[in-house]
A and B are shown apart, each in its own frame.
Chain A
Amino acid sequence: MEHVAHDESLFVGPAETPEMELYHPKTFVGKYIWSQDAKVIAIQYALTAMAIGFVALVLSWLMRLQLAFPNAFSFIDPGNYLQFVSMHGMIMVVYLLTALFLGGFGNYLIPLMVGARDMVFPYMNMLSYWIYLLAVLLLVASFFVTGGSTGAGWTLYPPQAILPGTPGSGTGILLMLVSLALFIIGFTMGGLNYVVTVLQARTRGMTLMRLPLTIWGIFMATILALLAFPALFVSAVMMCLDLTLGTSFFMPAIVSMGQPLDHAGGNPLLFQHLFWFFGHPEVYIVALPAFGIVSDLLSVHARKNIFGYRMMVWAIVIIGVLSFVVWAHHMYVSGMNPYFGFFFATTTLLIAIPTALKVYNWILTLWHGNIHLTVPMLFAIGFIFSFVNGGLTGLFLGNSTVSVPLSDTLFVVAHFHMVMAVAPVMVIFGAIYHWYPKLTGRMMNDAMGTVHFWGTFLGTYAVYLPMHYLGIMGVPRRYYAISGTDFIPDSAHSLNVVITVAALVVGAFQLLFLYNLAWSYFRGKPSGSNPWKATTLEWQTAHTPPRHGNFGPELPVVYRWAYDYSVPGADDDFIPQNVPPHAVERSVSGSEQAGGRSV
């Protein structure tokens, strides 16, 4: 084993590179509205995403009320119900999770964690947010147009999405499609920034393999999004043309309500392929940043280096690549050659390998760690539970033979909510509690945070665990009301009531979170610059919250990887990335224990 030598001469300084020129606004509007500062843009993204996410949360309550108490609410008719389902799904997946992880966390964390002054193209970054906001506003406008928003399901499958009879088949679906196209244009501007900043704007000493896993997750997810969103873009444009100009990309010759329509030759399956070529990588666009962030939360709050850093990076890359060759497992019931079914089932199950590897590494990071059960840590552990549960039910749905009978049942709803809703949301909450002190200079209230965690964690289990049973029983999804069926007993209806009550309670706990956000901003305990004693660069800024330009007059120089926690020989249980070897305080006996580690 190589012995560590603390010899200053071994560290040869690299050549100086000129810093980027920053735009310095002088007015309030320039600083906080048309801002080019990635940190302000991040907060704009996050607030917009959370606001529209709250709308989607309310829609889910309305759906649950209808399912638990059918026909009890006069303002929920079958058309409304389908509109709630559709808008809830699309908002949560695209406008909340994607925007918050990449636009919110990506903008805030990438420049700070890689040691850059800002994103490499700040003006384009600003445009990205404003186009996103326009997309959100168009989406919201669709609630108020004649016929209302689309009720085609979040997958927007043609031909029914644009046929008369489907709610919102006119202006509603048009606004949705235009909004999606704008979202993608805006995201491409932001995404180019994220990827190029990681590749080109890292500070001295910050090699790719010294990046925190948060950045690896966001980086890979952005690459996936840049390559997957074009599929959604072309399918949105093609469906717009089918709707407005009468082309027949997706619309076959069809008789609707007794009338032959003026379409011929289109192929609805083509849409499904394009949609899911985007749709499945989208799962990992949401999951990979969550994987990265949770790795860092576990490491910081267990005071231990992440177990198997290299394997974690490899797993992120492999999952990203594999996510492009599994899309048709969403289409088993659409009909396909059995060999294709076999291929897609195999690739789907292959993804379980790098994913399981990550789960093992998270658990092994906790093993013998100095675990601090802080609120971020609670959410990180909650994520592991939720993700493993959701992942295991994914094994059922990845197998074509098992998936077919479970298709379109509540089992699918329960599965993807566990793996793609609850799990990433756990990480989002953990990340907000973790980085809030850096954003505001204040800690979030711990007691409220703990109550929020337990309410959310147990509450979501109360919602989705029983939903699996309903699904296995054969209760279908997307149905406005179910009655007169022999295979669904009355107890299933009782379970629906329980689920609804649990969903409303979980919702109430989120109001506590919002209150905590606001309360802590004014009354929270001052945090100092590095309350969690973390090693990464965002915690080493001269000011908290960091000012424009992030790092004061000099950019930090990186001397070590991001996970020097509890290093044998070091006096402190963490060594920040920018601390040079000679500045590490250590005891002599401990130094000998360090072995081949870099101290």
Chain B
Amino acid sequence: MSIIQTLTARPWTAGQSRLDYLYAGSAPPASTRRVALRIFLAVVAVLFMLLLVAYAGRMAYEDWRPAPQLRLLRANTAVLMLSSIFMQVSLYSARREWRDAMRTGILAAGAFTLVFLFGQMLAWRQLGALVQFDFRNPAVGFFYLITGLHGLHLLGGLAAWSRTAARAWGDADPARTAHSIALCALYWHFLLLVWLVLFGLLFSGNNFELLLKLCGIR
């Protein structure tokens, strides 16, 4: 039933009463967890959207100084993509009950995530070592803040990943394991998407005009 149909129902009428009685009650736990994750991702999306708009809003001022570009970020992006791809491979395998491939996928996804986080920390160090480094420059502050928050979300994801991995190596119900991997995959793809937007618009250079137009500032 669509939202419009739901909101226009007349619950006090006998006809609607019969329809309402067909509502079977609470959803299964798997569906509940999926809905919860989607709502949480919406909250995270708002968080990063606000940072993006704040960044763009600050860029619009004449005294804006862009942060120095780091080539390492391109490699990190590729690593995160690999992590997401392996998560998807794991999900594909779990749904077909290919246990070895599923385990390999999970392991690789986790390993590439750790490599990505290590790479981000290297990027932090590289930026700090540059001559142009000035912590008072808002662009530099934003870089550390945004990459830090993104990394923290991935770290939180790794906590869930470790439980999923334990399930994959234990004798858990295959459907339950596949469900856990599906949730992890959704989370990983989402954080990859967030990173691609952040990297593409904020940290890869030469996209300032596009960003300002997207945010309606210019």
Contacts and interface: CB of A to CB of B under 8 A. Distances in A.
Contacts of B145: 237-238, 241, 247, 249
Contacts, number: 173
A303 B51 CA distance: 50
Contacts of B24: 14-17, 204
Contact of B25 (A12, A203, A317, A559): A203
B149 to A, nearest CB: 8
A234 B137 CA distance: 18
Nearest to B27: A200
Given A120-B36, A201-B26, A209-B9, A234 B43 contact: no
Interface stretch (A82-90, A265-273, A488-496, A513-521): A265-273
A210 B136 contact: no
B128 to A, nearest CB: 12
Contacts of A257: none
A227 B43 CA distance: 6
Given A12-B22, A226-B39, A210 B135 contact: no
A202 B20 CA distance: 12
Contacts of B69: none
Contact of A210 (B20, B31, B142): B20
Given A11-B21, A208-B6, A555-B25, A196 B50 contact: no
Interface stretch (B56-64, B79-87, B108-116, B207-215): B56-64
A116 B32 CA distance: 13
Given A200-B35, A246-B136, A248-B136, A274 B27 contact: no
Interface residues of B, number: 51
Interface in B1-57: 6-18, 20-29, 31-32, 35-36, 39-40, 42-43, 46-47, 50-51, 54, 57
Interface stretch (A102-110, A172-180, A306-314, A387-395): A306-314
Contact of A559 (B10, B21, B50, B137): B21
A200 B32 contact: yes
A274 B28 CA distance: 38
14 contacts: A192-B40, A205-B20, A206-B25, A208-B6, A210-B20, A238-B141, A265-B63, A266-B138, A267-B58, A267-B61, A270-B54, A273-B57, A310-B10, A598-B17
A226 B42 CA distance: 9
A452 interface: no
Main secondary structure on B side of the interface with A: helix
Nearest to B134: A264
A373 interface: no
Contacts of B46: 227, 230-231
A559 B51 CA distance: 47
A263 B26 CA distance: 54
A270 B58 contact: yes
Contacts of B35: 196, 199-200
A20 interface: yes
B13 A596 contact: yes
Contact of A2 (B8, B11, B15, B140): B15
B80 to A, nearest CB: 22
A209 B7 contact: yes
Contact of A207 (B11, B26, B36, B47): B11
A54 interface: no
Interface residues of A, number: 75
B74 interface: no
Interface of B: 6-18, 20-29, 31-32, 35-36, 39-40, 42-43, 46-47, 50-51, 54, 57-58, 61, 63, 65, 135-138, 140-142, 144-145, 149
Contacts of B43: 188, 226-227, 230
Which one of B11, B141, B142, B144 has the greatest number of beta carbons of chain A within 10 Å? B11
A196 B10 contact: no
A61 to B, nearest CB: 37
Interface string A12-41: 101111111000000000000000000000
A3 to B, nearest CB: 8
Given A209-B9, A267-B61, A17 B27 contact: yes
Interface string A233-268: 110011001000111110000000000001111110
A200 B50 CA distance: 29
A598 B18 CA distance: 9
Contacts of B137: 248, 265
Contacts of A277: 50
A241 B141 contact: yes
B7 A234 contact: no
Given A203-B26, A205-B23, A231-B50, A598 B12 contact: yes
A230 B50 contact: yes
Given A226-B42, A555-B25, A559-B21, 20 more contacts: A11-B18, A14-B23, A16-B24, A199-B35, A200-B27, A204-B24, A206-B23, A226-B39, A226-B43, A230-B43, A230-B46, A230-B47, A231-B50, A234-B54, A248-B138, A265-B63, A267-B138, A273-B57, A274-B54, A310-B10
B56 to A, nearest CB: 11
Contacts of B65: 265
A318 to B, nearest CB: 11
A234 B47 contact: yes
Of residues B23, B140, B149, which shows the largest number of chain A Cβ atoms within 10 Å of its Cβ? B23
Contact of B11 (A264, A317, A561): A561
A249 B22 CA distance: 54
A249 B141 contact: yes
A522 B140 CA distance: 61
B44 to A, nearest CB: 8
Contacts of A210: 11, 20
A597 interface: yes
B153 to A, nearest CB: 12
B140 to A, nearest CB: 8
A248 B57 contact: no
B25 A120 contact: no
Contacts of B12: 305, 309, 561, 563-564, 597-598
A265 B65 CA distance: 9
Nearest to B9: A209
A583 interface: no
A365 B121 CA distance: 61
B47 A233 contact: yes
